[in-house]
Structure 1
């Protein structure tokens, strides 16, 4: 999961069932250049090991997330750092974590938000909360 990013809101034509990986990858590349403002030449050079929709059957009116596994970590980071371009849109991009890490992050987010309201610098790194540069013990 280290090289995976999850993209939400990318349109899906689910009237005829699951689309092939090639179709999903081309939609993702289009999304990267249009919405994340990554130059087309750069997007064409990105290498994916696999691109697919989240597992389940397509449902009318719902858009499944796209999971992209990058071949190179530096490509993933290039794309991930473009997330501010999505501010104010219905799209999102985030890292994929194992379920136990997701649960731990879910518990830490309220503490992080509270610290930010108090004017402190706070951020999550994997499954650790940092406030003013120091890790917080749970």
Structure 2
């Protein structure tokens, strides 16, 4: 009987070690995914060329460049000079009354950041732009946004960086 109890305790300890290792590996995979997405921005509410879901990547890229000029107030020359590795609509068929988002992978981080920092040009419009993150990171960020808004309401300086909330320079994680 004692041998069984000892063996069960060893197995329980091993399971704990494996769960900890799995969690670490999952965090690493999530980080790798976010690194592969770090040059991506997601643009919302940009109308599609047609409603049947077969807009070509070239058409999507042209629509995005026009959107950068009209909504982000970039000059035609700047919008044309931006290089993309890939521009596509979110997967799936468009739903009636809904417009699929555009996901753009910028070749140069500098271009991506320049566009992202012009988000205030979108105030008062239906358009939005945001960074793309893996689902696990988005889930953490959603939880932290509530805490960030509360900290700001209390007059503190709060912002999100990846999956960490900083309040007055101190990191707060979920």
Structure 1 outlier segments of 4+, above 4 Å: none
- In structure 1, list runs of 5 or more residues that go unmatched: none
Alignment correspondent of 2:125: 89
Alignment correspondent of 2:75: 39
Partner of residue 107 from structure 1, selected from 138, 143, 164? 143
Q: Which protein has the bigger helix share?
A: 2
Alpha-carbon shift at residue 14 of structure 1 (Å)? 2.9
- TM-score, normalization by structure 2: 0.77
CA contact (8 A) 2:52 2:93 kept: no
* CA-based RMSD: 1.1
- TM-score, normalization by structure 1: 0.96
Distance 1:101 1:137, change over 3 A: closer
- In structure 2, list runs of 5 or more residues that go unmatched: 1-36
Of the structure 1 ranges 9-18 and 52-61, higher mean CA displacement relative to structure 2 is found in 9-18
Alignment correspondent of 1:70: 106
Alignment correspondent of 1:80: 116
Greater relative contact order, per chain length (Cα 8 Å cut-off, separation 6+): 1
CA contact (8 A) 2:45 2:127 kept: yes
CA contact (8 A) 2:163 2:173 kept: no
* Greater Rg over alpha carbons, structure: 2
Report the Cα distance in structure 1 between the residues aligned to 2:108 and 2:173, rounded to whole angstroms: 33
Report the Cα distance in structure 2 between the residues aligned to 1:14 and 1:39, rounded to whole angstroms: 26
Alignment correspondent of 2:96: 60
CA contact (8 A) 1:14 1:59 kept: no
Alignment correspondent of 1:8: 44
Alpha-carbon shift at residue 13 of structure 1 (Å)? 3.1
Alignment correspondent of 2:28: none
Report the Cα distance in structure 2 between the residues aligned to 1:19 and 1:135, rounded to whole angstroms: 43
Per-residue Cα deviation, 1:14-40 (whole angstroms, up to 9, x for no partner) = 334311000000000000011001111
Per-residue Cα deviation, 1:108-132 (whole angstroms, up to 9, x for no partner) = 0100000011011100011110001
